[in-house]
Structure 1
Amino acid sequence: MSDLPTSRVNPAFPVGFMPLAGTSRDCEECGRAERVGFQFDYAYQPIVDVDRQVVFAHEALVRGPAGEGAMTVLSQVHEQNRYRFDQACRVKAIKGASELGIQERISINFLPNAIYKPEVCIRTTLEAARVHSFPLERIIFEVTEGERIEDGPWFAEILREYKRCGFKTAIDDFGAGYAGMKLLADFQPDLIKIDMDLIRNIQADRARQAIVRSLVRLCEEMGIQVIAEGIETPAERDWLHDSGIRLMQGYLFAKPAFRSVAAVAPAAYALAQR
């Protein structure tokens, strides 16, 4: 979602979080969040706990109506439908997880630049969770660090409001984007997901190792759980586990499953004996 254009500044609202034209109409559309002008659906990819050998959560990943890649959907999002799309994503991800019988947490990406007043814009999510009997504490809202957030304190306020409502919060692609340490100074999420570019072949890259070890120590001090994403090999998994990371995501464990729940093979958890 980081490729989406940022809303322009309006002096009536915090920088970077301008309401769309016709805000009152858009607010009324919350109850009809499926109306975005195009069709889309979800695939779900597990995030695993390698110590307990269980699924910790499932990330909801947007797809086309027949399973097409995310960009076929995101390329249709623009200034006029951004708010409705963000609201529709929440409804569809929660509904889909409920229909699939997912008992673990679900992680939903959201568009911070589609939000102008968090306590209002969150109503759709609360209603979807109620209708589909999905506990709020099992919902994680994650935003990619690659989103260009022009007003860090306001973004932190959005995350605080989500946390106050009972949701978990996460920063995706940490180490790859604009926010970085400054965002952590403003707000401490429940989780961060280390960007896959830092993970690739980490067992053989001393610079990446030093960066990841530092992040793990920092998060331990701040009470933040760490997820390593994009894991493709047992060597990556083993090095990360030895460095204190137990929550992981990637093709080694399971690829995203379109409109279904991916199974994790027991062998994927098999850590090397030390």
Structure 2
Amino acid sequence: MQCNNCSVLELEFEIKVMGNTNIEALPQIVEHMKRRGIAVKAKEQGLVVPESGAKEFMDFCHHFMETEQVLFRINRERWKPFADIETVMDMQWIDEVIRKELIRCHYQPIVDAHGKIYAYEMLARFQNEDGSVIYPGEIFPAAKSRGRLYALDRVCRMTAVKYAVALKEAKAFINFIPTSIYSPEFCLRSTTHLANQLGVNPEQLVFEVVETEKVEDLDHLKTILAYYKEKGFEYALDDVGEGYSTIEMLTDLKPNYMKLDMQYVQGVANDAAKQKVALQFLRKALDVGSVPLAEGIEERTDFEWLKEQGYQLFQGYYFGKPSPTPMEVDVALAL
């Protein structure tokens, strides 16, 4: 069984036409495509074609149809104006990045209150085949436009597990997009199998719900996290103040770690408003039995203030920037 969302098969475009002119032209278009050997499926007021066929339809549409009355969608997502179809096609390069796994990981240290390495966050880095860098600001919009966020999340997750082998006993924090998981048992089976195959202790892996995808279906998220827990993994919640505001909700989710966002960390030692948020967050984490982690630390004063309040884990440029190999932290500097 193969999940279309997690694979990088050729996209299918579902096209819907409206208006008498377009509807009358539709049968001729279908016949034309069949004569050209294009795998086209006719539907009421529309058709379904592979990407190569969508390009043919696009040329035909621009010349003979009223394009403002044509819609398209991929992967049963929402319908979009036909004018947006070129953007989806222009982003086809993302398919090769995913298919050929042109991804590597950098390690950013996470330390305890004594400056000792506790874990590393695994941060994905992307590149073209020629080795040139692709920035996250390019990669994620491209993946989203082509319905590839699911496939990208999977390959990033698998790559991070491979890179975790180098960590020995330190934990690895691995970002994941919960909305990319259709069925935890099916979608995450390959992750658990790879960890077992590589001899990575499940207790070393901490799966972190990323802040870029706001979770609306909390029951689905709980199902995912229950699966991780059953397999021996830990999990962390990011951006807690935004997505998980109540103690009751956090108690249900039972995160092992909660991350305080850098906007409340940087400058906290001298900002009363940030201190108030940081202390509320700390109480919330301790109330639900989570380890509080402050990320984005760049100044010693912020580290000292947060440590004095009771924060247990810390991450940021003050301790080390992401690097291609796991780096040690200068304990004297950290303390």
Band of TM-score, shorter chain: 0.7 to 0.9
Report what 1:44 is aligned to. Answer: 107
2:301 is matched with: 235
Name the counterpart of 1:196.
262
1:141-152 alignment to 2 at 5 Å? 141-152=207-218
Q: 1:109 to 1:45 in 2, by over 3 A?
A: same
Q: CA deviation at 1:113?
A: 1.0
Contact 2:6 2:151 in 1 (8 A): no
Aligned mates of 2:137, 2:199 — CA distance in 1: 30
Superposition pairs for residues 6-25 of structure 1, below 5 Å?
24-25=2-3
**Residue of structure 2 in register with 1:86 after alignment:** 153
Aligned residue in 2 for 1:117: 183
Identify the match of residue 59 of structure 1 among 108, 114, 121: 121
Relative distance call for 1:245 and 1:28 in structure 2 (3 A) is closer
Deviations 1:131-179 (A, max 9, x none): 211000110000124422121222122112211211101012333x334
Asked if structure 1 preserves the Cα contact closer than 8 Å seen for 2:251 and 2:288, the reply is no
Normalising by structure 1, what TM-score?
A: 0.80
Cα distance in 2 for partners of 1:28, 1:128 equals 16
Hey, what does 2:225 align to over in structure 1? Answer: 159
Q: Letter of the aligned partner of 1:57 in structure 2?
A: A
The 1-side partners of 2:6 and 2:257 are apart by 32
Are 1:95 and 2:162 an aligned pair? yes
Aligned residue for 1:57, secondary structure, equals strand
Number of aligned residue pairs: give it.
241
Check conservation: 2:239, 2:261, Cα contact below 8 A.
yes
Question: Aligned-pair distance for 1:239?
Answer: 0.3
- CA shift digits 1:6-30 (9 cap, x unpaired): xxxxxxxxxxxxxxxxx84448959
CA contact (8 A) 2:282 2:311 kept: yes
Contact 2:269 2:301 in 1 (8 A): yes
- State the secondary structure of the residue aligned to 1:140: strand
User: How far apart in 1 are the matches of 2:167 and 2:214?
Assistant: 35
Q: 2-side partners of 1:268 and 1:183: how far apart?
A: 38
Task: Tell me, yes or no, if the aligned pair for 2:111 and 2:313 is still in contact at 8 Å.
Answer: yes
Aligned to 1:266: 331
Among all aligned residue pairs of Structure 1 and Structure 2, give the percentage whose two residues are the same amino acid.
32
- For 1:101-140, list aligned pairs within 5 A: 101-140=167-206
Q: 1:251 matched to which residue of 2? A: 317
Structure having the larger proportion of residues in helix? 2
Shift of 1:185: 4.6
Is 1:170 the counterpart of 2:236 in the alignment? Answer: yes
CA contact (8 A) 1:146 1:178 kept: no
For residue 251 of structure 1, give the secondary structure of its aligned residue in structure 2.
coil
Q: Alpha carbons of 1:132 and 1:71: their partners in 2 closer, same or farther (altered >3 Å)?
A: farther
Q: Deviations over 1:18-58 (max 9, x none)?
A: xxxxx84448959xxx982462211110110123x321111
The TM-score with structure 2 as length reference comes to: 0.66
| CA-CA distance at 1:80 after TM superposition | 3.3
Gaps in structure 2 of 5+ consecutive residues: 9-95
Q: Which has the larger radius of gyration?
A: 2
Please, which moves more after superposition, 231-240 or 53-62? 53-62
Cα 1:84–1:172 change in 2 (3 A) is: same
Matched, 1:220 2:286: yes
Amino acid in structure 1 at the alignment position of 2:303: R
Instruction: Find the counterpart in structure 1 of residue 141 from structure 2.
Output: 75
